Chain A
Amino acid sequence: MQVYADNAATTKMSKAAIEAMLPYFDKTYGNPSSLHTPGQEAKEALEDARARIAGCIGCEPREIYFTSGGSEADNQAIRSAAYYGARKGKKHIISTAFEHHAVLHTLEKLEKEGFEVTLLDVKTNHNITARQVRDAIREDTCLVSVVYGNNEIGSLLPIAEIGEVCKQAGVPFHTDAVQAVGHVAINVKQENIDLLSLSAHKFHGPRGAGVLYARRGFPLTNLIEGGAQERGKRAGTENLPAIMGMAAALEEACANLEDNQKKVTALRDKLVAGLSKIPHCAMNGDPDHRLPGIVSFCFEGIEGESLLLLLDAQGIYASSGSACTSGSLDPSHVLLAIGRVHDVAHGSLRLSLSHYNTEEEIDYILETVPQVVSLLRNMSPVWRDLQNGVRQYIL
C-alpha cells in the first residue's frame, strides 16, 4: 500500500484544478496586459479568477494580489506593514516563535534594518492567546503577524480574537494562512484581518501561485519592480494557468469544506488515538484547537530521518522535524519553541492528511508506525539506557 501523508508539504492536484488550467496554455494564452482580443480574453479570465478567490475568503476582488506563492505573500505583507509603520515612527513587530521561515527570516532581516521584534511564547498549549497579543502591543507596534494554523504541529490560532485585539489597538494584522485556507472557513472581514497569505498547492491547486490579500487602502511595498500588473504592486506577467487552477481548487475546497473537514478530522482523530498508544511518545500541537489534517508526534529514543526512511520503504510518505531532515544541526524551531528538548525533537514524525486519504490508509499507518518505532528503538543505545534506568525518560 502507498500512503501519501505529507499534505502539509504539498498536495495532489485536483482534477478540476488541472482541467481549469489546460485552456490557458494553448487556447487563451494571451498576455492580460495586451490590448488585442486574446489579451483581453486572458484579462477577463484573470479578473474572473480574482473575483472567485475573493468570494472564498470574504473580501473584494481588488483586495487580491496574485503572487508566486505563500512565501512571497508573507514577505510582501510583512515588509509593507513594517515600512508603513516606520514612516510613522513605529518599528515594533509582534509575531510568534513558531512561524514559518518565510515570516521568521523576513523578521530577522527587518531586525537588521532596525526593527524590534517580539516573538510570543508558544509553550502553553502549543498555542498563543489573544491576551498575549494584547499585552505585547506597544505604542510603536506597527504589525502583528501570526500563523493561522501551524504547518508542523497543526495548532489553530484564535485568529478572530487576535483580529479584534488588533482592531481595538489600531495595529495592522497579518496572518500566514497557507495551511488553513481551503481547510477551515475563513472570512477576512469578520476576523478583522488586514493582510493574509495563501498558497494554491496546499489546497490541491498548482505550485507557483499564491495570493496576498491586503485590505483596501493598505499601502503595499513592491518586492518586484517592473510592469503595472496587480495594480502596480507586483510586477511580472501573470501566471494565468496557475491562477486559474488556484481559483478552481479553492472554489472546490470551499464548496466541500464542511464535508472534507469532517472526514479529515475523523481520520486525524483516529490516527492520534492510535499513535498515542505507543509508549513514551507525545503529541505536538494544541490538543483542542487544530487544523483538520496535521498530526505530529515525538517518539523518545529514536531519530526522525531513519523513521521516515523506514516508513518510506513501507510506502508511507511523511515528514519529520529532526536535524537530519532540516539540513542543520538543530531540530525544527517549532518543536523547540513548544518546549521539546533536542533529544526528543529529533524523534518527531508529522503525518498530514487530506480528503484523498482513506480509513484503510490510517489502519495501515497505525499498523506500520509502531513496528518501525520499535525496530529503531531496539537498535538504539538511548532506548537501552532509558530501559535500564541509566537515562531518565522525558516523555
Chain B
Amino acid sequence: MALYSEVVMDHFTHPRNVGFIEDADGVGQVGNAKCGDIMKIYLKIENDMIVDVKFETFGCGSAIASSSMATEMIKGKPLSEALKLTNKAVAEALSGLPAHKMHCSVLAEEAIKSAVKDYYDRNGIEYDHTQFPDCENCAHCHE
C-alpha cells in the first residue's frame, strides 16, 4: 500500500515492544476512545535509565507504528534523553507520515512524557512542569 512508507508498514505489522509491564515504574496514557486513538506506555526505570518499555495502542496503523518506533527510540536511554524525543523525530524515523497522521507521532511523544511524569510523581522527584503536555486541555480531540 502506498498510503504509508515501508518503515511505517514494518512497524505496524511487526510492532516492537508491544505489551504491558505488570510492575511498571511509570505509566502514561494519552488520547481517548471517542477520537479513535489511545496510546499507553509502560516504563521500567533503573538509575534514571529506561531499562524496559512496552506499549499498547488502540488506533490506526500510523498510531501503532508511531508507538513502536518511539519505544525503540527510548529503550535503554536515560530519562533526560527520552524527554527530548520529539514527534518530528518519530515521524522522521518512520520515513514520514501523511500530514493528517502527524498527530499520531504527537501522541507517541506525549505518551512517553506522560509516563515519565508518572514516574516522577510516584517517586516525589521534582521536575519542570512546563516541559510536559497538558493532555486534559489538549485541543486534538475537541476541534
CB of B89 closer than 8 Å to a CB of A: no
Contacts of A301 in B (CB 8 A): 58
Is B57 positioned at the interface, with any CB of A under 8 Å from its CB? yes
Stretch binding the partner chain, chosen from B36-44, B72-80, B128-136 = B36-44
Residue of A at shortest CB range from B20?
A384
Query: Which of A116-160 touch B at CB < 8 Å?
Result: none
Contact of B60 among A313, A324, A329 (CB under 8 A): A324
How large, as a class, is the contact surface on chain B? 20 to 34
Q: Is the CB of A306 within 8 A of B60?
A: yes
CB pair B36–A381 under 8 Å, yes or no, is: no
A343-B29 contact in complex given A327-B100, A329-B143, A380-B58, C-beta closer than 8 Å: no
Is A384 within 8 A of B56, CB to CB? Answer: yes
| Distance between A385 CB and nearest chain B CB, rounded to angstroms | 9
The complex places the Cα of A302 from the Cα of B36 at a distance, in Å, of 9
* Interface presence of B34 (CB below 8 A): yes
Complex: chain A residue closest to B101, CB-CB = A324
Task: Return the chain A residue nearest B61 by Cβ.
Answer: A309
The residue that B57 contacts in the complex, of A324, A331, A346, A381, with Cβ under 8 A, is: A381
Report chain A residues within 8 Å CB of B12: 306, 309
* Contact (Cβ within 8 A) A381 B13: no
A322 pairs with B57, CB closer than 8 A: no
Contact with A along B33-73 (1 / 0, CB 8 A): 11111111000000000000001111111011000000000
A305 at the interface (CB under 8 A from B): yes
Docked Cα-Cα span, A343 to B60, in Å, equals 13
Question: Could you say which residues of chain B place their CB within 8 Å of the CB of A24?
Answer: none
Residues 341-374 of chain A, each 1 if its beta carbon lies under 8 Å from chain B, else 0: 1110010000000000000000000000000000
Least CB distance, B34 to chain A, in whole angstroms: 4
Q: Which residues of B contact A164 (CB under 8 A)?
A: none
Contact in complex: A342, B18 (CB < 8 Å): no
Knowing A306-B12, A343-B34, A346-B33, the reply to whether A381 touches B56 (Cβ < 8 A) is yes
- Shortest CB-to-CB span from A322 to chain B, Å, is 6
Contact flags A309-348 to B (C-beta < 8 A → 1, else 0): 1101100000000111001010100000000011100100
Closest A residue to B29 by CB, please name it: A381
B residues adjacent to A (C-beta < 8 A):
1, 3-4, 9, 12-13, 15, 18-20, 29, 33-40, 55-61, 63-64, 100-101, 141, 143
8 shortest interchain CB distances as A-B pairs: A305-B60, A324-B60, A346-B36, A381-B56, A381-B40, A343-B33, A342-B34, A380-B58
10 interchain pairs, CB-CB under 8 A: A305-B61, A306-B60, A306-B64, A309-B4, A322-B60, A379-B57, A380-B56, A381-B38, A381-B56, A382-B58
